[in-house]
C-alpha cells in the first residue's frame, strides 16, 4: 500500500498533480502553506525536511552534507521534495473529507503505535530541533495512512485484467526511410529475396534495426500491420507521417516482456483513475504559501540530529497489518 502511495506522490518539482502550485499571499506565521482548509504547519515540514536531509544527505554511506559543492543543490532538492510531498498528502486528505473516507479504529491504532515508536527513537536534541510532539507525529501518520486509503479508493474500480493481446510485445527488425523513392527501392530489394538485415544495414535511417515493441510504442499504421505478421514474415511498405517502415517479425509473442508490459499497463490505468479525481480537486483548490518563512527556512541540521526513519517506521507498521 505504501509503495502504491509513493507512485502517486513522487513527482519532482513543486507541484500538485499536473498543476504547478501558485504561491499567493502569506498564511499564518507558523503555517507553511494552506490548500483550501488543509494546513501544513512548520513543525510538520521540519519533520519531513530533517528526515529527507538525513536520507539523501547520506546516500550510499557518503555524507553529501559535508561536500560544499552539492550542499546547496541538496538543500534545494529536499525543500522542493518536502513541499511537494506534504502538499499531496494534504490534497488527498481534502479528497477524503469530500468523499467521506475515514480511518478505521485499527488504522488509527497503527498510526498511534508507529508514532510512539518513532517519537521514542528520537533524542532530546532531535525532538527540540523538529519541535514535534508525539501527538503531532500521530496526526502526520494518520494523514499519511488516510492518503494511502484515498489512493486505494480511487483506483478500486480499475480493471486489473490485462489481456495478452493488449500487452503483447513483438520482437522484430525494422527498416525506416523518409523518402518515398528510397522506400520503393527497399521494397524491390526485399521482394527479390535479399536478406532483411543486409538491406537494413545499407538503407535503415533509424539508429536501431533490432526492435521490441508493444501497441503504444510505434506509429498506429505500423502497429496495425506488424501485429498481424507471423514469425519470419515481412510487411509491405507502411506509410506514416514520419516516413516509411518495413517490419520483419522475429517473434510475434515475447511472453516475458508481455508479462512485464501487463504490469506497466495496469499501473497506467491506476494512475489515470487516480488523476481523474485528484487533478480535478487541485484545479478547484486555492493554494497559499508563507513564502517569507519558507525562503528563510534552512536545512542546516545540527550534527546530533540524525533521525531518518520517519517513513520507514510507518511503512513497516502498515505492512505488518
Please give the CATH number for the structural domain made up of 2-159+263-320. Answer: 1.10.4030
pLDDT tens profile 4-28: 444 444 333 344 444 444 444 445 5
Rg over CA atoms, the chain: 26
pLDDT at 203: 96
pLDDT tens profile 45-101: 999 999 999 999 876 454 555 555 566 788 889 999 999 999 999 999 999 999 999
Report the C-alpha gap between 256 and 168 in whole angstroms: 10
| Second CATH level (architecture) for the domain 170-252 | Roll (3.10)
Residue spans per domain, the chain:
2-159+263-320, 170-252
> Comparing 298 with 194, which gets the higher pLDDT?
194
- Residue 251 sits at the vertex; the CA angle it makes with 201 and 255, to the nearest 5 degrees, is 135
Burial of 301 (0-12, 13-18, 19+ CB in 10 A): middle
Does the predicted model carry a pTM greater than 0.75?
A: yes
Report the C-alpha gap between 218 and 221 in whole angstroms: 8
Tell me, rounded to whole angstroms, the distance of Cα 304 from its chain centroid. 33
Amino acid at each position: 500500500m505504501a509503495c502504491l502511495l509513493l507512485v502517486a506522490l513522487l513527482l519532482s518539482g513543486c507541484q500538485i498533480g499536473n498543476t504547478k502550485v501558485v504561491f499567493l499571499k502569506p498564511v499564518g506565521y507558523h503555517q507553511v502553506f494552506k490548500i483550501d482548509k488543509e494546513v501544513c504547519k512548520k513543525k510538520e515540514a521540519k519533520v519531513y525536511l530533517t528526515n529527507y536531509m538525513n536520507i539523501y544527505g547520506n546516500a550510499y554511506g557518503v555524507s553529501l552534507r559535508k561536500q560544499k559543492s552539492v550542499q546547496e543543490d541538496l538543500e534545494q532538492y529536499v525543500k522542493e521534495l518536502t513541499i511537494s510531498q506534504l502538499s499531496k498528502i494534504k490534497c488527498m486528505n481534502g479528497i477524503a473529507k469530500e468523499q467521506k473516507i475515514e480511518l478505521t479504529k485499527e488504522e488509527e491504532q497503527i498510526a498511534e503505535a508507529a508514532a510512539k515508536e518513532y517519537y521514542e527513537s528520537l533524542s532530546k536534541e532531535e525532538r527540540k530541533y523538529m519541535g514535534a510532539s508525539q501527538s503531532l507525529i500521530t496526526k502526520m501518520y494518520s494523514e499519511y495512512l488516510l492518503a494511502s486509503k484515498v489512493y486505494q479508493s480511487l483506483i478500486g474500480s480499475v480493471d486489473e485484467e490485462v489481456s495478452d493481446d493488449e500487452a503483447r510485445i513483438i520482437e522484430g527488425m525494422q527498416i525506416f526511410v523518409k523518402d518515398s523513392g528510397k522506400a520503393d527501392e527497399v521494397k524491390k530489394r526485399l521482394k527479390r529475396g535479399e536478406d532483411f538485415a543486409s538491406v537494413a544495414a545499407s538503407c535503415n535511417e533509424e539508429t536501431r534495426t533490432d526492435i521490441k515493441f508493444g501497441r503504444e510504442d510505434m506509429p498506429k499504421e505500423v502497429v496495425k500491420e506488424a501485429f498481424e505478421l507471423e514469425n519470419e514474415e515481412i510487411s509491405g511498405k507502411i506509410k506514416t507521417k514520419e516516413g516509411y517502415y518495413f517490419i520483419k517479425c522475429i517473434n510475434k509473442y515475447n511472453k516475458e516482456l508481455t508479462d512485464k508490459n501487463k504490469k506497466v499497463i495496469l499501473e497506467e490505468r491506476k494512475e489515470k483513475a487516480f488523476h481523474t479525481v485528484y487533478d480535478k480537486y487541485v484545479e478547484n483548490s486555492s493554494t497559499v504559501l508563507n513564502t517569507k518563512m519558507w525562503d528563510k527556512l534552512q536545512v542546516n541540521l545540527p550534527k546530533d540530529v540524525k533521525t531518518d526513519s520517519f517513513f520507514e517506521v510507518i511503512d513497516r507498521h502498515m505492512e505488518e497489518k
